[in-house]
Every structure is written in structure tokens, then in C-alpha cells.
Amino acid sequence: MDTKTSSATPLKEAVSVSGAEAKGARRSRVSGIDRALQVIDYLYETGLPAGAYAIAKAVRAPLSTIYVIIDDLVEKNMLARNSDGSIWLGSRLYHYGLAYARSLDFMSVATHEMHDLCRQVGETVQVCGRDGDYMLVLAMADGPSHFQVASRVGTRVPLNWTASGRLLVGHLTESERIELFKRCARTSPTGRALIDARTLSDAAGKAFAQRLSIQVAESDYAVACIASPVCDRDGQCVATISIVLPEQKVLSDEHHYTEHVRMSAQRIETLMGWRNH
């Protein structure tokens, strides 16, 4: 009896140790993935290349750990090292992004409509979404004119600067909108963007109800934007489609552009099967 007990004990201990090692390995892998994502997220959020020291400080990780992670990600083309030693997002992430975009029915539908609207109005058209406290340009079709638009695909700007930004939060409750704008409203380069949370909340709610938001020279001088929301089955704004054009054109023929952009947003919803709200 004693012999059986003593022979079983090491087996149990071995199983226990093996299980602990497996759990430790899992924790290590998750930790490594988390650190890698922190590095990538930091570069994405700042929108600029950075050195290992700045990244380590920002994500509060040991510099030695960040060096190892960066070297590994550079080797796998997830990150790229510039000639000055700074780190930026790698080509492999771009390919992943393209593959992901191709898999999304919504982006396919929205991009097709975006190009159609661009041809109809002869101006730059953008599809935008929300990224936390920011509006993010998801897709863009350049108009035929020489008018230059500063915001390109991937540009992130505070929600209170743009017509699209207000629509993207317009479906939220009044209290949610107020709290959001209290946190994220920023002064724009032109100084003309609203920053009062209640005023912004009222403007967002009204624009969403009218399915139309117009912004003139709030984020960029002499630039206007006319946007309409794209809403899902639950009536929540998941994206916007907008026309970006010189402000004088809005002042001279606003109705022409507003009708076109509203119809484009409705077509996207119809094609997605969302027009039941």
C-alpha cells in the first residue's frame, strides 16, 4: 500500500509541474502578444515613427523587452526600421489591412457608392468611421479638381471638428453625448470648431435626426464638409459618407450637394439591408 502511494505521488507532482509550466507558457505568450500590440497601437495612435526608448516609456515596459519585440516584429515585416533608427508600421500590416477590407461587405458597398458620388458631384468624397474619441477616414475618392484635401485615408481628427464626427455619435443619448464631448472636444486649427459639450450634443442630435451635417472651415480654412449618416439595423451610425469641397461652393449651391449625399447614404443602407429604422 505504501509502495503504491509513494509511486503515485511523483506522478501527481509531475502532472502538477507540467500543468504549471503550461500555464506559465500561456501567460508568457499572451504577455508577448500584448506587448507587441502595445507597440503597434502606440505607433498607430501617434501616427508618427518613434524610437525604442520613446515607445518603452509610453507603454511602460522595460527597454530591453521593447528592443527584443521590435527586432522580432521588424524581422517579420510587421514593423519597419527607418534609416535614422526610428520604428514605423511594416508592409505586412498593410497587406493584412487590405485583406480585412476586402472581406467586409460594408466597405465594398460603401467604396463603390463613394466613387459613384464622386463622379456625380465632381468633388472629393470620403467614408468615415469612429475610432474612440476620433473620426477616422476609412476610404476616399479624389475629385477631378485641383482642390487639395488635407485629410487622407487613415487621418484621425477629434469628433467635434467635423460634420461626420457629430453624426457618428448622434445616435447616443444626450447624456452620453455630453460626457463624450466633455472628454474629447478640442480646439481646432482654425479656432472655429465648437467645444462646448452641450452645444455639441445638441448639434449632433439635430444633425443625426435630419440625416445631414454641414461644417464650414471648422477644421481647415476654406474647406467645407457635407455628411450623411450610414445607420445599421438598430439605427446606430456606423459610418458616414461625406463630400469635401471649397466652402464657397456650399454657400452657392448647398441643396445640390445635400440631396446627393443623403441619397448615397440611403443607398448604402438599402444594399446592406439596413433600411428598417
pLDDT per residue as tens digits for the range 33-47: 899 999 999 999 898
The CATH number of whichever domain residue 57 belongs to comes to: 1.10.10.10
In a domain, 277, yes or no: no
Which among 155, 160, 124 has a CA at the least distance from the CA of 137?
Answer: 155
In terms of phi and psi (left: phi > 0; alpha: psi -120 to 50; beta: otherwise), the region of 235 is left
User: What is the mean predicted confidence (pLDDT) over 107-128?
Assistant: 94
User: What is the mean predicted confidence (pLDDT) over 125-132?
Assistant: 94
Which among 157, 151, 121 has a CA at the least distance from the CA of 139?
Answer: 151
Other CB atoms closer than 10 Å to residue 254's CB: what's the count?
15
Residue 155, Cβ density class (10 Å: 0-12 exposed, 13-18 middle, ≥19 buried): middle
- Over the chain, what is the mean pLDDT? 85
Helices marked H in 76-220 — which ranges? Answer: 91-103, 105-121, 163-168, 174-184, 197-210
Q: Is the overall model pTM greater than 0.75, yes or no?
A: no
What's the pLDDT score for residue 179? 96
pLDDT per residue as tens digits for the range 199-251: 999 999 999 999 999 998 777 778 889 999 999 989 999 999 999 988 888 77
Which residue segment(s) compose the domain that 57 sits in? 2-93
Residues 6 or more apart whose CB falls under 8 angstroms from that of 237 comprise 167, 168, 169, 170, 171, 208, 229, 230, 231
Lookup result for grid cell 461625406: 242
Q: Are residues 172 and 48 located together in one domain of the fold?
A: no
Q: Are residues 73 and 113 located together in one domain of the fold?
A: no
Residue 197 has pLDDT above 60, yes or no: yes
Q: Which among 40, 67, 93 is the end of a domain? A: 93
Q: Are residues 158 and 243 located together in one domain of the fold?
A: yes
Q: Could you tell me if 215 and 188 are in contact, meaning their C-beta atoms sit under 8 angstroms apart?
A: no
More confident residue, 114 or 20: 114
Lowest mean pLDDT among 2-11, 52-61, 136-145, 161-170: 2-11
Which among 277, 181, 186, 174 has a CA at the least distance from the CA of 229?
Answer: 277
Which among 159, 243, 242, 246 has a CA at the least distance from the CA of 204?
Answer: 159
Q: Give the largest CA-CA distance in the chain.
A: 98
Q: Are residues 264 and 145 located together in one domain of the fold?
A: yes
Q: Are residues 146 and 194 located together in one domain of the fold?
A: yes
**109-141 CB burial, b ≥16 within 10 A, e <16:** bbbebbeebbebbebbbbbbbbeebbbbbbbbb
Residue 11, Cβ density class (10 Å: 0-12 exposed, 13-18 middle, ≥19 buried): exposed
